[in-house]
Structure 1
Amino acid sequence: MNYRHSFHAGNSADVVKHALLIALVRALQMKPGALTMIDTHAGCGLYDLAGDHARRTGEATQGVLRAFADTNPLLGDYRAAVEVVNEGTDQGEGPRLYPGSPRILAQLLRPQDVLILNEKHPEDAAALRRAMRGFPAAVHQRDAYELWLAMLPTRTPRGVVVVDPPYEQTDERARIVATLAAAMRKWAHGVTVIWYPLKSRTAHARWKDQLRRLGIAKFLIVEHWLYDTDQPDIYNGAGLFIVNPPFAFTQGLAPLLEALRAALAPEGHSGEITAGWLSD
């Protein structure tokens, strides 16, 4: 599955991913110590929802626009993050610009925190540098999995790595498994967030079995299935693997997930969004 960010900006997967990322980072920042945030597949950083790529798929109408039409206060932090990048734009029909994870993480930076971004695709890397002008972020253009390991352990006592690949390569999942195993040997206490698209429950179960064999004790799985049954050969939803999530994040997760499910369920479907431990 090819999942280049610019074609899918602001879709339902982005809403879930970014709402949970904001909640996760804020839970980590409840402690005053410095936090390093690393985004291995950063993309362009900022997306025009009226641009050619986003208009070609039209996925924002079922994602960020639904979240903005919903009044649930639990989605307020997410909506506020999108509104920041739209200040001064015409939002008559909803937000025009959509922040990728780099711009969302930049909004969350405290003076003591560190932001490290990486994007290998040349055009996207150039766009990322433009999007991050004025922000205290280091921008790299390297192989994502090499950078992931090279940056560990983080120089600050705590850190979070966000892994959000386009799944263009057939060995993407195998590289994630291998790199995560190596990362845990270098940085066993670190927080890692891995995003993935969902197409087949059977294939996804096989991947979870591979990850289960790594023996990671605190391995949270959040899965958002859009439809009540699998729709063959299409995007059915997305999920996050979260290694070592902080207690404050997991304690507040259930109501946030329900708010996201209700806001994003397609017409005629109730949708399903769940969280559970891989070891269960």
Structure 2
Amino acid sequence: MNYRHSFHAGNSADVVKHSLLIALVRALQQKPGALTLIDTHAGCGLYDLGGEDAQRTGESAQGVLRAFADPNRLLDDYRTAVQAVNVGAEPQLYPGSPRILAQLLRPQDFLILNEKHPDDAYTLRGVMRGTSAAVHERDAYELWLALLPPRTARGVVVVDPPYEQTDERERITATLAAAHRKWAHGVTVIWYPLKDRATHWQWKAQLRRLGIPKFLGVEHWLYDGDQPDIYNGAGLYIFNPPYAFTQALPPLLEALRAVLAPEGHSGEITADWLND
């Protein structure tokens, strides 16, 4: 499955991913200690919703534009993050995770970004100019392990690949196992698309077998039944989420389900502990 982000910027998966990422970092920041935030597949960092790629799919209409039209105050933090890179009421640009994470930084926090694709890395450096972010151009899985443990006691690793490679899930699983051995208490967030349940269940079982405690799975299924051979939704695996985040999660998930459900479908978004 190819998930090149310029085609999908601002879609329903982005709304869920970035809403939860903001809530997660904010929960960790309830303690004053410094955080290191690492994004292993950072992409370009900023996307033109009126550009050729985004217009080809039109997915932002069912994602960020719905979130902007919805009055639910639980989505205010997400809308504020998107509005920060825009002028006017309706967003024309969409911030990727690098720009959103940069907005959340406190003076004591660190942001490390990585993008292997040379053209995207070049764009990313320009987009992040004026921020304190460090930008690398390395293999994502090599960098993930090389930077652990980080210089701060606490931190978050965000793993958000395009799933272009057939062995992507296997590399994530192997690297996660090694990363847990190096930094057992670190928070890791892994994004993934949902296309068919069989592939999803098989990978979930592999991750369970790693035996990592505090393993939370968030799944967002857009449709009431599977739609064959198309994108059906997306999810996040979150390892070691803080208590403040998990306690506040249910109403946020319900707000996201309601605003993103396609016409004629109620949709489903769940959060379950997978290694209890």
TM (norm. structure 2) is: 0.99
- 1:183-198 matched pairs, under 5 angstroms: 183-198=179-194
Find the counterpart in structure 1 of residue 39 from structure 2: 39
Distance across 2 between alignment mates of 1:124 and 1:237: 25
In the other structure, the counterpart of 1:264 is 260
- The answer on 1:248 being equivalent to 2:251 is no
Measure, in 2, the Cα distance between the counterparts of 1:251 and 1:151: 30
The alignment partner of 1:74 has SS state of helix
- State the match for 1:168 in structure 2: 164
Report how far residue 90 of structure 1 moved: 4.2
Listed one character per residue, the Cα deviations across residues 76-101 of structure 1 (whole Å, up to 9, x for unaligned) are 00000000000xx344xx20000000
CA RMSD across the alignment: 0.6
State the Cα deviation string for residues 71-127 of structure 1 (Å, max 9, x = none).
0000000000000000xx344xx2000000000000000000000000001111111
2:56 aligned partner, one-letter code: R
**Counterpart secondary structure, 1:159:** strand
Unaligned runs of 5+ in 2: none
Q: Which residue of 2 aligns with 1:50?
A: 50
> In structure 2, what is the equivalent of residue 275 of structure 1?
271
Residue-by-residue CA offset, 1:15-53 (whole Å, 9 max, x unaligned): 000000000000000000000000000000001100111
Q: What residue identity is the alignment partner of 1:277?
A: W
- Cα shift readout 1:234-274 (whole Å, capped 9, x = no counterpart): 00000000000000000000000000000000000000000
| Aligned pair partner of 1:152 in 134, 144, 148 | 148
* Aligned residue number for residue 226 of structure 1: 222
User: Does structure 1 residue 201 correspond to structure 2 residue 202?
Assistant: no
Aligned partner of 1:111 among 74, 86, 107: 107
Quick one: distance in 2 between partners of 1:197 and 1:187? 26
Which whole-Å CA distance do the structure 2 matches of 1:69 and 1:29 have between them? 29
Residue number in structure 2 paired with 1:28 = 28
Matched letter for residue 127 of structure 1: T
Separation (CA, whole Å) in 2 of partners of 1:90 and 1:250: 33
Q: Structure 1 unaligned segments of length 5 or more: list them.
A: none
User: Secondary structure of 1:235's match?
Assistant: coil
Determine the C-alpha separation between the residues in 2 that align with 1:276 and 1:218. 10
Instruction: Give the TM-score normalised by structure 1.
Output: 0.98
Q: Give how far 1:203 is off.
A: 1.4
Instruction: Give, in whole Å, the separation in 1 of the partners of 2:254 and 2:33.
Output: 31
> Paired residues, what number?
276
Q: How does 1:103-142 map to 2 (within 5 A)?
A: 103-142=99-138
Q: What is the percentage of aligned positions where both structures have the same residue? A: 81
